[in-house]
Amino acid sequence: MTGEVVSLPDIEPSLVEITRTQSPKQPPPPSSLVFGHTFTDHMLTVPWHILEGWGTPKIQPYGPLGIEPSATVFHYAHCLFEGLKAYRDPSGKVTLFRPDMNMKRMNTSAERVALPTFNGEAMVELLKQLVRLDKHWIPDKPGYSLYLRPAMIGTQPALGVGPPREALLFVICSPVGPYYPQGFKPVALYGTTEFVRASPGGIGAYKLGANYAAGIAAQKAAAAKGYVQNLWLHGPEHYITEVGTMNAFVVFKLPDGSYELVTPPLDGMILPGVTRDSVLGLARDHVEGKLRVPDLTDKLVVSERAVTMPEVKAAAEKGNLVEFFGAGTAAVISPVDRIGYLGEDIHIPTGPDGMGPVSRPLWKLLTAIQTGAVPHPWSVEV
């Protein structure tokens, strides 16, 4: 023993082994797609062992995983995931949207539950190889894309609470259509005071399976009251945190007639969404004159600050609540027209198309960047 620290292998894209399916499937008609129900021909797997580091990446036919029933993922929730999309522009070029952000967040989530971290740039290269193989699954219609679901699970076959000695990183792909195929339909939220999504020092800021499982019963309760999803509140002040599984945005009208775009700060309870960061980035660049967002007012203030339901309610009563929306990978922008709060409904203005004066131009530019209609460094060519 020399006492030297041995560096174990990280993920290495050049070692990838590709096994093409012998039974390729026919992609279904785009109009028949249901989000997350159809999967492409191939998947990516990369094993990890505490004594060996990351193993050989494999792109192989989509199929079941061989995991023992004693694997830690089934008992102690060693499970995390990501979500991002690949787009095809009219010329046929395929791009990923900000994959570096997803890999950075995936590593942060892994650290939180004692799963292994990895080289994010190497994983992006493997994502590109997987998408190249299955890019014909991206429907050739506006608004359609290929949804990528990277995930990592603890696979050590042993009971006992502790860091897993074995793990598996895998990626599956699903062709998806526009979240609102018939146009934007604003949703009604229930400002829940019965359930709590996250608390300081907890896991709210990480994309872990445990975060989502705990919210399903609360969503069912909201649906029983006639609402589509929960608006997660925190503390006796009823601070707004998230909209279902999306980041929350509010637009207020200020006394001088300008608008304030507000989203809660990343305080450890809120997921650092890629779409959230993109919306803030475009809005700030517009305000600072670095980028022009067509049809967006110049009289705009962009704020990351705490916002409460009493503030939203008071603004609605005074006519100063301009709009409320969620932001996330699946829907990009999801407008809200009603919030149930303490026994009454707060109604929120929406335009004829279901959107508002701030969300609409930001959504238009963001989706144009995603689809390649507007060139931007956020789009990474496959």
Is 70 exceeded by the pLDDT of residue 4? no
| pLDDT band, residue 5 (cuts 50/70/90) | low
Give CA separation, 186 vs 243, 261, 262, 339, in Å. 13, 18, 19, 11
Helices (H), the chain: 72-76, 99-112, 120-134, 209-224, 274-287, 309-318, 359-370
Distance CA 245, CA 113 (A): 20
Mean pLDDT of the chain: 95
Residue located via tokens 């942060």: 108
| pLDDT band, residue 330 (cuts 50/70/90) | confident
Is 90 exceeded by the pLDDT of residue 218? yes
Q: Is 29 exposed, middle or buried (0-12, 13-18, 19+ CB in 10 A)?
A: exposed
299-326 tens-digit pLDDT:
999 999 999 999 999 999 999 999 999 9
Is 70 exceeded by the pLDDT of residue 3? no
User: Is the distance from CB of 142 to CB of 91 less than 8 angstroms?
Assistant: no
Strands (E), the chain: 17-18, 42-49, 53-54, 58-61, 79-81, 84-88, 94-97, 145-154, 166-176, 187-192, 229-234, 239-243, 246-253, 259-263, 300-304, 321-328, 332-341, 344-347, 379-381
Q: What is the pLDDT of residue 73?
A: 98
Q: What is the pLDDT of residue 1?
A: 47
User: Which residue from 378, 261, 376, 258 is spatially nearest to 327, judged by alpha carbons?
Assistant: 261
Mean local confidence (pLDDT), 192-199: 94
pTM for this structure?
Answer: 0.95
User: Which residue from 175, 151, 163, 161 is spatially nearest to 65, judged by alpha carbons?
Assistant: 151
Q: What is the pLDDT of residue 142?
A: 87
User: Which residue from 250, 217, 221 is spatially nearest to 340, judged by alpha carbons?
Assistant: 221
Is 80 exceeded by the pLDDT of residue 153? yes
Distance CA 201, CA 204 (A): 8
Distance CA 141, CA 148 (A): 18
The residue ranking higher by pLDDT, 184 or 223, is 223
Q: What is the pLDDT of residue 6?
A: 72
| pLDDT band, residue 183 (cuts 50/70/90) | low
73-102 tens-digit pLDDT:
999 999 999 999 999 998 899 999 999 999
Mean local confidence (pLDDT), 123-132: 98
292 contacts: CB under 8 Å, gap ≥ 6: 286
Q: What is the pLDDT of residue 160?
A: 95
221-267 tens-digit pLDDT:
999 999 999 999 999 999 999 999 999 999 999 999 999 999 999 99
Percent of the chain with pLDDT over 70: 98
Is 80 exceeded by the pLDDT of residue 332? yes
Strands (E), 14-122: 17-18, 42-49, 53-54, 58-61, 79-81, 84-88, 94-97
Buried b (16+ CB within 10 A) or exposed e, 34-70: eeeebbbbbbbbbbbbeeebbbebbbeeeeeeeeeee
